[in-house]
Amino acid sequence: MKINTAKQKMLRGEPAFGYSAKLGSPVAAEFLGHSGVDFVMLDGQHGSWGQDSLIQGATAVCASPAMPFARVAYNFFPLIGQLLDAGTLGIIVPMVNTIEEARAVARACRYPPVGERSYGWGRALTYGDDYAEWINDQLFVAVQLETVQAVENAEAILAVPGIDGCMIGPADLACSMGFSPKEALKREEHVRALERVVQACRNTGKIPGIDTGASESVVKRIEQGFIFIPMGSDVKFLTSGAAAGLQIAKQAVAKS
């Protein structure tokens, strides 16, 4: 049996921290997994992964202590099943706005009788012959709430059996509310929307999450009640690190 240590932390009310792998590089994803985070989220929505490379990425993360999570491109039964069969222990589904869409997520993710996942698996068999006996309990399933409609339906969505929690997309939510993501921190209605989702999680006993985009935002988000916390990506680390290194070199030349 494989214990999903990230999910177990969140069930205890402790924050689980992770990084997003967007480059499409299994090697980069494996390095992220060795950084000490609780999970690595392979980003099949906004990342540069193909379906085959996502499976390679899951394999790479499994070689690290971090839990292999994945964000699927969209709410589609076959795509979700392929990622589960590859051995991912967390599935994040974007743009879930209604209870019907949440039920579709749960059906795709859980084996019967909880859901309708097709009985079978690929490299997930590396977890052992008892995989099907424990995966329903150990799998973490989160829906993304990213629109005004999703916030309004948050409690009904989160009450769906088989849904463990959510991840707010703050930028898309801001756009749905009629203003740019940069304005979100200044807009009271955006803050109230986040509070409404956290309260919906409390009312249903589910796990509140948010894409912080950067580790500098973590303290604020934890104070707001979020405990599922992706907080940066390989793309951001590469570009910011490269830019910082160049800046040091330019400053050294300027002083010489």
Rounded CA gap, 168 and 151, in Å?
A: 9
54 CA to centre of own chain: 14
Structural contact between residues 132 and 153, judged by C-beta atoms closer than 8 angstroms? no
CA distance 227 to 4: 15
Report the C-alpha gap between 104 and 212 in whole angstroms.
Answer: 26
Q: Is 34 a catalytic residue?
A: no
Instruction: Give the bridge partners for 226, in sequence order.
Output: none
Q: Say if residues 157 and 144 touch (Cβ distance below 8 Å).
A: no
End-to-end Cα distance, the chain: 60
Compute the half-sphere exposure of residue 198: CA atoms within 13 Å on the CB side of its CA.
15
Beta strands 39-43; 228-233: pairing state: unpaired
Which of these is catalytic: 34, 46, 192, 220? 46
Catalogue the active-site residues: 46
